[in-house]
Amino acid sequence: MNELSSGWNHLRGIEPLSLCDWPGRTSCVFFLGGCNLNCPTCHNFDMAWNMERLPLLSREDMRSFLRNRAKWLDGVTITGGEPTTAPNLGEILYEIKKISKLPIKLDSNGMLPEILEDILQQGLADMFAIDVKGPYEKYPALSGQAVTAEAAQKNLDRIFKLAEANPKAFYFRLTKVPILTDEDVETAKGYLPDGFDLTIQNYIPPRRDHALADNEERRSAGNMVD
């Protein structure tokens, strides 16, 4: 496969050392560009929607980094964008595991549960951090009209069943964006299976002139996800 047409073309960033992306672990962070949502509050919008604006991290650069630094790390975090939208994600995860011998955490919005289930079954990731954005009825507004309330509930219900069966492999997060009330947060907490907590994250505002201009351009072009 041509590397430029594969998931490797989505590898658009690295944070060599993070003490906060994987609670309790020292990890590096790889960023995969692209996303299936259009959240108006996204603070990483270039990574999500305009990855071509960001430098490509080559496959060999990733390999070299892991060979040199893996012994100083406790894990590898894969984030985005939305990693599950990258083609051949399993190939990337397999290579990271093979080189680093480290556990992998995958961040996701949970809207492609079949991919997460496949990754879990293949043992290609050890932890899944799932963003629960809010009450199902607010998902259209929260996702930039990319997801209906019904689709959000269907997808997250499947994720919650995976979490019930694999409780040590999942945790859930919510970012308290401005349109969410305290009642909304409590509603979202109520969706989680027994024994799980919802980690509340502080909202980081985007650079609104740039982010909203990009989002409006995408809307007018009809690029919204059904």
Residues 115-136 have pLDDT tens digits of 999 999 999 999 999 999 999 9
Tokens linked to 148: 């209906």
Cβ proximity of 85 and 34 under 8 Å: yes
User: Quick one: DSSP state of residue 191?
Assistant: H
The answer to whether the predicted template modeling score (pTM) of the entire model surpasses 0.85 is yes
pLDDT beyond 60 at 3: no
Strand partners, 175: 201
Q: What is the structure's pLDDT at 5? A: 54
Q: What is the structure's pLDDT at 206? A: 76
Residue 170's contacts (CB-CB under 8 Å, 6 or more residues apart) are: 127, 128, 129, 130, 159, 162, 163, 196
Q: Which of 5-14, 120-129, 132-141 has the lowest mean pLDDT?
A: 5-14
Mean pLDDT of 42-65: 93
CA distances from 36 to 65, 136, 169 (A): 29, 17, 23
The Cα–Cα gap between 184 and 136 comes to 10
| Spatial CA neighbour of 203 closest among 226, 186, 178 | 178
pLDDT beyond 60 at 20: yes
The Cα–Cα gap between 131 and 175 comes to 8
Percent residues over pLDDT 70 in the chain: 89
Strand, helix or coil for residue 103: coil
Mean pLDDT of 18-40: 95
Q: What is the structure's pLDDT at 117? A: 98
Mean pLDDT of 60-74: 96
The Cα–Cα gap between 72 and 208 comes to 37
Mean pLDDT of 132-150: 98
Name the superfamily (CATH) of residues 3-219: Aldolase class I (3.20.20.70)
Higher pLDDT, 201 or 213: 201
Residue 161's contacts (CB-CB under 8 Å, 6 or more residues apart) are: none
pLDDT confidence bin for 144, thresholds 50/70/90: very high
CA distances from 180 to 13, 144, 197 (A): 30, 15, 18
Which ranges of 125-177 would DSSP assign to H, the alpha helix? 139-142, 149-165
Strand, helix or coil for residue 91: helix
Q: What is the structure's pLDDT at 195? A: 95
The Cα–Cα gap between 207 and 84 comes to 25
Mean pLDDT of 67-85: 96
Tokens linked to 202: 């502080």
Mean pLDDT of 2-29: 88
| Mean pLDDT computed over every residue of the chain | 90
Percent residues over pLDDT 90 in the chain: 85
Q: What is the structure's pLDDT at 207? A: 63
Strand segments, DSSP code E, in the chain are: 11-18, 27-32, 75-79, 104-108, 127-131, 170-175, 198-201
Q: Which of 32-46, 141-155, 176-190 has the lowest mean pLDDT?
A: 32-46
pLDDT beyond 70 at 90: yes
The Cα–Cα gap between 95 and 62 comes to 10
